[in-house]
Structure 1
Amino acid sequence: MPVPDGHPDVFDIEWPLRVADVDREGRLKFDAATRHIQDIGTDQLREMGYEDTHPLWIVRRTMIDMIEPIVFKDILRLRRWCSGTSNRWCEMRVRIEGRKGGLVESEAFWININRETQGPARIADDFIEGLRRTTSEGRLRWKAYLTAGSREDAERIRDFPVRVSDIDIFDHMNNSVYWSVVEDYLNSHPDLMRVPLRVTIEHDLPVALGDKLEILQHTHPAGSTEKFGAELSDRSVTTLTYAVGDEVKAVAAIFPL
């Protein structure tokens, strides 16, 4: 989906790529990109004048395409616009580019939350009207893309300690922390960082402080991956299942584009 450049409802902002955003090679990390995706959402909400009336949102799915690395000391340009709406949720696109090169594309499924009930809340009509100016999708529905892997056939299971600093205002592990698990995996698979890469994380249940979080790793070889989409049957797909006991909290899928 191309950026609707020049559209007044595309939020466009720039800020520096800082040292905490990059890995040892100077590459923008997935967890840092996710923080930027969250931050531009907050900035756009404030700019639109809905920060007080719609302050709480949770993300159900984030898909990030790391097409070309963005490197340290560059200036990031972020553009954000709506690609689908419903009464209580929306999908938002964010494109991140570096002035010197590099490109990250993303789309996230955001749910508006009622402060008192902590459940999905209706988005105000005037807010939705603004969101819909960049999309023709007005009946957005949730459909999961990913399936959790089982403990019995996992090729690797490892602990992921949940720290106090990982917990956000919802008293749950922040979305960006899930992406640090992906960075841990990629650190031992440097070949994947030399090609355009897609990573998707879907959230089922929150992770809380004190949870014994485990990561179940599964690799699906080429020829067995049609369940992720017929066009992916020629490449391997890795899934990471975030589990607390028998309860699945989230699932990530990683594969080259």
Structure 2
Amino acid sequence: MSTTPGATGLAKAMMPVPDPHPDVFDIQWPLRVADVDREGRLKFDAATRHIQDIGTDQLREMGYEDTHPLWIVRRTMIDMIEPVVFKDMLRLRRWCSGTSNRWCEMRVRIEGRKGGLIESEAFWININRETQGPARISDDFIEGLRRTTDENRLRWKPYLRAGSREDAEHIRDYPVRVSDIDIFDHMNNSVYWSVVEDYLYSQPELMSAPVRVTIEHDLPVALGDKLEIIRHVHPAGSTDKFGEELSDRTVTTLTYAVGNETKAVAAIFPL
């Protein structure tokens, strides 16, 4: 990996797993056929579903499923270090890497018994059921989360900006299906990663080495929205706008837009 310790933004180095540690949630389940692509690789959208599912499982295990049931992801960063392949058994470990009063960053490491490694970090906001706004996390819950991190003043800072239609390399429609909509009446987080999979299919060289993909969410996508994917490719030498650590590589961005509203932005680059 060429992420730099101490770097911030898209080039940040993720917190290493504090193993062994009693507050790292550790679980295993098999890699299923619906999780993999035609070559048997665990897909980004499937990995994102696993990241969501282990979060629910840990919440239940910690005893906060009823008091803190609603969480919205603001950003997810995934490093595909080495593909995990079909018929393997997944080991997932989840722990907190940063907290504040109303949100936290949670790390998930996904490994295959036979090899393969995916690292991820997601910025989760605790949501009040009535107001649908950010809600304070209970003191006892935060105390448990902080056992794996020293970062207790976590702040939100966006890493990405939307790309414009005027200078886009490519724009395409992405029909929103009924099956894409989840219990919150929004397009599920994992569907955004299906868009990434579509792009990576046309860029096989990107998957021949470790790759980092980051998606930041601004507004939800609803059924009936005319969603467009606006693509920009920023060649090496022009990418210091993402941080000087990335000036030596190409960064591709995908802007998820409905009319003039930016719904999300993704960034893709080799590690």
TM-score normalised to structure 1 length: 0.99
Give the CA deviation at 1:227.
1.1
Residue 165 (structure 1) aligns with: 179
The one-letter amino acid of 2:201's match is N
Residue 191 (structure 1) aligns with: 205
C-alpha distance in 2 between matches for 1:175 and 1:126: 28
- Give secondary structure in 2 for the equivalent of 1:250: strand
Residue 35 (structure 1) aligns with: 49
The one-letter amino acid of 2:205's match is D
Quick check: 1:137 aligned with 2:175?
Answer: no
The one-letter amino acid of 2:260's match is D
The one-letter amino acid of 2:26's match is D
The runs of at least 4 consecutive aligned structure 1 residues that moved more than 4 Å come to none
- Give secondary structure in 2 for the equivalent of 1:32: helix
Two-structure CA RMSD over aligned residues (Å): 0.5
Q: Pick from 202, 216, 222: which aligns with 2:216? A: 202
Residue 162 (structure 2) aligns with: 148
Quick check: 1:78 aligned with 2:78?
Answer: no
Quick check: 1:244 aligned with 2:266?
Answer: no
Give the CA deviation at 1:121.
0.4
Residue 125 (structure 1) aligns with: 139
Query: How many percent of aligned residue pairs carry the same amino acid?
Result: 90
CA displacement, residues 10-30 of structure 1 (integer Å, 9 cap, x when unaligned): 000000000000000000000
Residue 25 (structure 1) aligns with: 39
Give the total of aligned pairs.
Answer: 257
Unaligned runs of 5+ in 2: 1-14
The one-letter amino acid of 1:100's match is K
C-alpha distance in 1 between matches for 2:193 and 2:68: 25
- Give secondary structure in 2 for the equivalent of 1:151: coil
C-alpha distance in 1 between matches for 2:154 and 2:184: 25
Q: Which moved more, 1:225-234 or 1:133-142?
A: 225-234
C-alpha distance in 1 between matches for 2:80 and 2:243: 19
C-alpha distance in 2 between matches for 1:25 and 1:116: 45
Give the CA deviation at 1:6.
2.1
C-alpha distance in 1 between matches for 2:183 and 2:138: 23
Residue 63 (structure 1) aligns with: 77
TM-score normalised to structure 2 length: 0.94
